[in-house]
Amino acid sequence: ATNRPDVLDPALLRPGRFDRQIVVPLPEFEERAAILRVHSRDKRMGPDVDLDTMAKGTPGMSGADLANLVNEAALFAVRRASAQIERIDFESARDRIMMGARRDSLILSAEEKRVTAYHEGGHAILATVLPHGDALHKVTILPRGMALGVTQTLPEERHSFSKDYILDRICMALGGRVAEELVFQQQTTGASNDLEVVTGLARRMVREWGMSDKVGPMAWHNQQNVFLGEDLMTGGREYSDDTARLMDEEINTILRQQETRAIELLSKHRIGLDLVAQALLEKETIDGDLVNALVQQGLDGSTQSPISVND
C-alpha cells in the first residue's frame, strides 16, 4: 500500500506484476458514521452523544483518525471520572486532534494575549463574512500544538474546489496578519504558517490549476523526478525564465489582491473585530455562532459586548 503511486517505478506496474490498483479514498459522511459506530460499540455512551452529528463534524478524517477520536474521547471521560463518554468528551477529543494538544504550561503575557486575540479575531471575522469559504466552528487563544491560537473551520464535503473558494481561503488566512497591522501597526512572526499556506495555494493556482489569466491554461507540477537520470534529461524545469518571472508576478498579484481585500473587509468590520477580540480575551474560546452575532452587532454600531466572563 502507498499514498504516493506517482513515485513507483513503472516497471512494477506492468501487466502480470502489480497491475491492479485499488484506490481507498477518505470516508464520506455515512462511512464515517459507520466507522464511529464500530469503534464505539464496546464503550458506554452518554445520552447526549450523537454519532451522526459527530460524523458531520469530522470531514477529511480517515478511519484511523476516527478510531483515535473515540479512544481520545474515552480518555477524556476517564480524566473526568465519568462512567460514560459524553458529548463534551468527543468535542474535547476532536479539538485535540484537529487543533493540537493544549499547552497549559505556556503562559502568554497580557500583550501577547491581546495580539493573539486580534490575530485570531481577524481570521474569524473573515471566515464569517466571506461567501465561499468554510464555515467557522471555533476560535481560541489557548495555545495548542505549536500555535498560540487556532481558528477552526468545518469544511464541507467537496470533491473539487472553485477559484472563488481558494481565493476566500487565501483571504481568510491573511486575516490574522492584516488584523495585527490594522490594530498595532506592526507585524509579528505569528503569521509565518499563514504565509506558508497562502503562498502554496497561490502557487498551485498559477502553476497547476490554470487559474491565472496571464499564464493561461497550463500546468507545471512542482514535483521532483525520483528516478536516476531524469533530472539531467529534463534540465530541471520545463519552462523559460520569462515564464518563471510571469508566474512569480501572478503569485504575488494574487496574494496582494487578497491582502487588500482582507484590509477592506476588516476595516469595514472594525467594531466587530474589537468585539471578537474582547470576547476571546474574556472567554478564551468562542464558537462560530457567537462570532456571527458579534459581527452583526458591530454592523449595528454597538460597541458593548453582550457577554461576560461568567457566561
Enumerate the active-site residues.
Answer: 120
Strand ranges across the sheet with 285-287: 150-154, 135-140, 285-287
Residue pair 151/128 in contact by the 8 Å Cβ criterion: no
Cell 459524553 found at: 86
The dihedral sign for the CA sequence 200, 205, 209, 210: negative
Identity of the residue numbered 282: E
3-state secondary structure at position 236: coil
Helices (H), 80-223: 87-99, 110-129, 163-184, 192-207
The C-alpha atoms of residue 103 and residue 221 are separated, in whole angstroms, by 38
3-state secondary structure at position 237: coil
The C-alpha atoms of residue 293 and residue 23 are separated, in whole angstroms, by 43
Give the C-alpha distances (Å, rounded to integers) separating 259 from 6, 126, 181, 207, 211.
Answer: 35, 12, 11, 20, 18
Residue pair 182/270 in contact by the 8 Å Cβ criterion: yes
